[in-house]
């Protein structure tokens, strides 16, 4: 049978469908970020306690990283799913919606409870019956990659209410005898609610990958051992990569958003190392007080670090509706990216 193409004669009725150069700047539907929440484990591990486990000391860790303590899952009730669910409940409450309103749940994590995915467990725990749920893996860039992904579903009109969670329990994957890595990481979760709106508040973004640097930071599967190995990292190279690439990606995202660095109210960098934050702030010529930092109390919580920092600054009334925020995630992959948005 000779089938006629059905779409072309419909296109004049929907001119936006034909627009071949549709970019992030001309979304069909606007996106607003309307809620945020965070959850961290109860147990605290201080630098002094770490110094009893490996040859290190509080001075060394503070001066090289800015970290004083971190929070670690410590019992069978605490997991990626439990922390993600708690952070999500707080974000949903702040947005003034219910779990049943959610259309989509994206869980950014690299430390899943189950290799088949953890997002559906979170969906069940929340009672978000209508929502489709999946995991997204992009290491410490997970929240930023997830924010861009989630926004696309809303921009296209496919979904109206999206929950994005960044949650990681890297403590499960750290070699607690390796002082070069075990001092850095902590566990936690942060979440945001994104909703369709008349005005678009997700203003610009830039995402990057470079698989050539894949070997610099890994939790690799060993075919010999038939299991995943603990985290391995080339600290100096990762440091150099972050300081070189992050200012560039932030500048590009701001350019796309048509904003200058001087207009930014808050910079939320992935909380990896205070020295990285200081170097990036310096290169961007940003007043240091606009750079959010809470790694002293949480360490590097991977995909959770940006949304935890966001939720804390929103809850303490420092981030206000209309404030211009730029966030940048970076890490294993290598992957890195930045997003510019207005809160609320
Ligand atoms: N305590 C005390 N000494 C330590 C130590 C620790 N926890 N870890 C390493 N050292 C020692 C090293 O053995 C080395 O000793 P040596 O000179 O006798 O060999 C010395 O300190 C310097 O080691 P180096 O690796 O050069 O330190 P550094 O200045 O690069 O700092 C990091 C190490 C990990 C803090 C730093 O490289 C870093 O922060 N990198 C970025 C990591 C990151 O952010 N990763 C996540 C990205 S998502």
pLDDT digits (tens, 9 = 90+) for 140-185: 999 999 999 999 999 999 999 999 999 999 999 999 999 999 999 9
> 283 burial class (0-12, 13-18, 19+ CB within 10 angstroms)?
middle
Q: Output the pLDDT for position 14.
A: 42
The CA R_g of the chain, rounded to the nearest whole Å, is 20
DSSP state of 103: S
Helix (H, G, I), strand (E, B) or coil at 69: strand
Whether the CB-CB separation of 266 and 294 falls below 8 Å is answered with no
| Residue of 288, 209, 286 whose CA lies nearest to 245 | 209
In CATH, which of 3.40.50.80, 3.40.50.10800, 3.40.47.10, 1.10.3720.10 is domain 30-197?
A: 3.40.47.10
Residue nearest to atom 7 of ligand 1 (CA): 179
270 catalytic per annotation = yes
- Identify the CA nearest to 146 among candidates 318, 270, 235: 270
| Nearest-CA residue for atom 9 of ligand 1 | 180
Q: Which residues pair with 232 in a beta bridge?
A: 218
Q: Could you tell me which of 88, 68, 92, 69 has the C-alpha nearest to residue 80?
A: 88
Determine the pLDDT at residue 12. 44
- All residue ranges of the chain with pLDDT < 70 are 1-26
Which among 340, 307, 303, 305 has a CA at the least distance from the CA of 324?
Answer: 340
Residue 216 CA, ligand 1 centroid: distance in Å: 14
Contact 229, 172 (CB under 8 A): no
Q: What are phi and psi of 108, to 5 degrees?
A: -85, 115
Catalytic site residue 182? no
Do you find a cis peptide bond into 183, omega within 30 degrees of 0? no
Which of 182, 245, 270, 273 is catalytic? The answer is: 270
Chain segment 194-219, per-residue pLDDT in tens: 999 999 999 999 999 999 999 999 99
Cβ–ligand 1 contact at 62 (below 6 Å):
no
3-class SS at 54?
A: coil
Cα torsion 270, 183, 313, 35: sign: positive
Ligand 1 pocket: which of 64, 166, 183, 245 to mutate (most atoms <8 Å of CB)?
Answer: 64
Domain with CATH 3.40.47.10 in the chain: 30-197, 203-342
Distance from the alpha carbon of residue 113 to the mean position of ligand 1, in angstroms:
29
CB 175 within 8 A of CB 304: no
Model pTM? 0.92
pLDDT at site 26: 64
273 included as an active-site residue: no
Task: Indicate which residue of 140, 155, 161, 200 is catalytic.
Answer: 140
Q: What's the token pair of residue 217?
A: 């930071």
| Two structure tokens written together for 255 | 């350019």
> Domain 203-342 belongs to what topology?
Peroxisomal Thiolase; Chain A, domain 1 (3.40.47)
Q: Where are the alpha helices (DSSP H) in the chain?
A: 15-18, 47-51, 58-65, 80-95, 119-126, 142-155, 179-182, 235-257, 274-284, 295-298, 305-315
Are 33 and 343 a contacting pair, CB within 8 Å? yes
DSSP string for 125-172: HHT-TT-EEEEE--GGGHHHHHHHHHHHHHHTTS-SEEEEEEEEEGGG
Contact 23, 151 (CB under 8 A): no
Residue nearest to atom 47 of ligand 1 (CA): 331
Does the CB atom of residue 183 touch ligand 1 within 6 A?
yes
Contact (Cβ atoms closer than 8 angstroms) between residue 249 and residue 266: no
d(CA 206, CA 202): 12
Strand partners of residue 135 = 107
Q: Which atom of ligand 1 is nearest to the CA of 332?
A: 48
Verify whether ligand 1 is closer than 6 Å to residue 252 (CB atom): no
Size of the chain, expressed as the number of residues it contains: 344
């Amino acid at each position: 049978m000779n089938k006629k193409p059905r779409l072309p004669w419909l296109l004049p009725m929907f001119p936006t469908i034909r627009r071949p150069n549709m970019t992030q700047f001309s979304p069909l539907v606007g996106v607003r970020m309307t809620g945020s929440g965070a959850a961290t484990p109860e147990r605290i591990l201080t630098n002094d306690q770490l110094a009893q486990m490996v040859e290190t000391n509080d001075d060394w860790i503070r001066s090289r990283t800015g970290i004083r303590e971190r929070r670690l899952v410590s019992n069978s009730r605490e997991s990626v799913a439990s922390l993600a669910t708690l952070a999500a409940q707080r974000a949903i409450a702040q947005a003034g919606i219910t779990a049943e309103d959610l259309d989509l749940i994206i869980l950014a994590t690299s430390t899943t409870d189950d290799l088949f995915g953890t997002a559906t467990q979170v969906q069940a725990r929340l009672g978000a019956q209508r929502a489709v749920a999946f995991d997204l893996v992009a290491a410490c860039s997970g929240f930023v990659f997830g924010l861009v992904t989630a926004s696309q579903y809303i921009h296209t009109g496919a979904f109206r209410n999206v929950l994005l969670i960044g949650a990681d329990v890297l403590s499960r994957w750290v070699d607690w005898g390796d002082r070069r890595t075990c001092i850095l990481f902590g566990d936690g979760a942060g979440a945001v609610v994104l909703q369709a709106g008349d005005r678009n508040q997700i203003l610009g973004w830039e995402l990057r990958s470079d698989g050539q640097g894949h070997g610099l930071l890994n939790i690799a599967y060993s075919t010999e051992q038939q299991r995943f190995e603990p985290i391995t990292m080339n600290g100096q190279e990762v440091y150099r990569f972050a300081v070189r690439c992050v200012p560039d990606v932030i500048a590009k995202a701001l350019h796309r958003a048509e904003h200058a660095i001087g207009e930014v109210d808050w910079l939320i960098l992935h909380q990896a190392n205070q020295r990285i934050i200081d170097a990036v702030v310096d290169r961007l010529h940003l007043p240091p007080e606009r750079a959010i930092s809470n790694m002293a109390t949480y360490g590097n919580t991977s995909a959770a670090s940006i949304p935890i920092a966001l939720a804390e600054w929103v809850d303490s009334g420092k981030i206000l509706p209309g404030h211009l925020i730029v966030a940048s995630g970076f890490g294993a992959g290598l992957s890195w990216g930045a997003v510019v948005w207005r809160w609320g």
